[in-house]
A and B are shown apart, each in its own frame.
Chain A
Amino acid sequence: MKRLAVAFVLIICATLCKAQENNLPPLDKSPMDMSYYPNNYPVLKIQDKVTEPLLARVIYSRPQKSGRIIFGDLVEYGQVWRLGANEATEIEFFQNVKIDGKKVAKGRYTLYAIPNADNWTIILNKDVDTWGAFKYDAQKDVLRTTVPVQKLTDPVEALAMTFEKSEAGCNLVIAWDNVETSLSISTK
């Protein structure tokens, strides 16, 4: 019975997906998204609820797990990964910040990651407006920092990036499949 119900839902989903595909031009399979710190800054702004200045914004595309094993398989350990899909993932700082004790001037950067089983290396690179990590140029790195990974019990279907408040400023939280990691961004 349960299987029948699941099949029923899947058929509906498949039909709807197909209906969408018939209308050109298609949406990206990995849709783009944007996160601000302060979180939901645009909404806070129109509600006159902004209490701290704009600090950062990330623009990224959101690949989906689709039943695959992501880390160590689809995304190989030890290799530079574009931390998204399609256009390279971009982080913009609206103030000068510090990451891992290093000064980062306000402006736009491309974000990459090198995932490993226990930690990720997060890379800030100044070659913006590019595509993926296919032409990644380490000479344009602004900084590299290594952060630990946490395992999640409930897998995250679509790659997610969001910010959370921290004492020093904010953390960029990155989660996909059964892995979560966090990059500390300091305004002090």
Chain B
Amino acid sequence: MKLAYFGLPALLIIVSCTSRNRGHPAGSETGPAASIVDTGAGNPYAPVDLSPMDMSYFPVNYSQRKMAHEIATPPVMRVIYSRPHKQGREIFGKLLKYGEPWRLGANEASEIEFFRNASIQGRKVSAGKYVIYCIPYENKWTIILNNDIYTWGLKIDSTKDVMHFDVPLQKAPIDFEYFTMVFQTITGGADLVMAWSDTEARLPINF
């Protein structure tokens, strides 16, 4: 009886968590989920994702600043991505293999939208939505913009790649549990900062 009381809730948590991994094969970055509190259990409409979605704008905190009447101009760009967590795993070179595409997130493919034309590494990027993904290497990441939007991250059609950009890596200021993408203002534009675990990469974007 004791076992039933203790075992059943534990089993429910494990089962409901693993069921969050919609269509993820083993080894995807959502990984084993037994340690996650599942707030979506029993939600018949849409369970809460294990790797929740998030959104970052440039200008930084655009929507709050717009609300506070600090900004009257339109936003410049935003990124929408899901946030896998590390959960004690070794991420780069292990969970994510060097030289293989990584979706820079989880679940739906990560999306970057430029609300006006931009310039990256001296090349023009037209306004619009793109899938953004990455090929991580030990010493650099290749960041790729792709036209196959509204897709799922595990199967990105590389024939629709628009541009590749190599960026150097640096040690992250902290050990990032959750994959994080934010913009940081630089002269003439913004860095798209991408950080997870002990690794950080920055893609400078100019306007």
On A, residues with C-beta under 8 Å from B are 1-2, 4-6, 8-9, 13, 16-17, 20, 23-25, 27-28, 31-36, 40-43, 45-46, 54, 57, 59, 62, 64, 87-88, 129-132, 134-135, 154, 156-158, 160-162, 173, 175
Contacts and interface: CB of A to CB of B under 8 A. Distances in A.
Interface in B139-183: 150-152, 154-155, 174-178, 180
A43 B54 contact: no
Contacts of B48: 31, 33, 62, 158
Interface of B: 1-2, 5-6, 8-10, 13, 22-23, 35-37, 39-46, 48-49, 52-55, 57, 62-64, 66-67, 69, 74-75, 78, 80, 83, 85, 108-109, 150-152, 154-155, 174-178, 180
A9 to B, nearest CB: 4
A9 B10 CA distance: 8
A129 B5 contact: no
A8 B46 contact: no
Contact of A54 (B6, B85, B150, B174): B150
A13 B154 contact: no
A27 B46 contact: no
A134 B64 CA distance: 10
A59 B53 CA distance: 9
A156 B66 contact: no
Contacts of B54: 27-28, 31-32
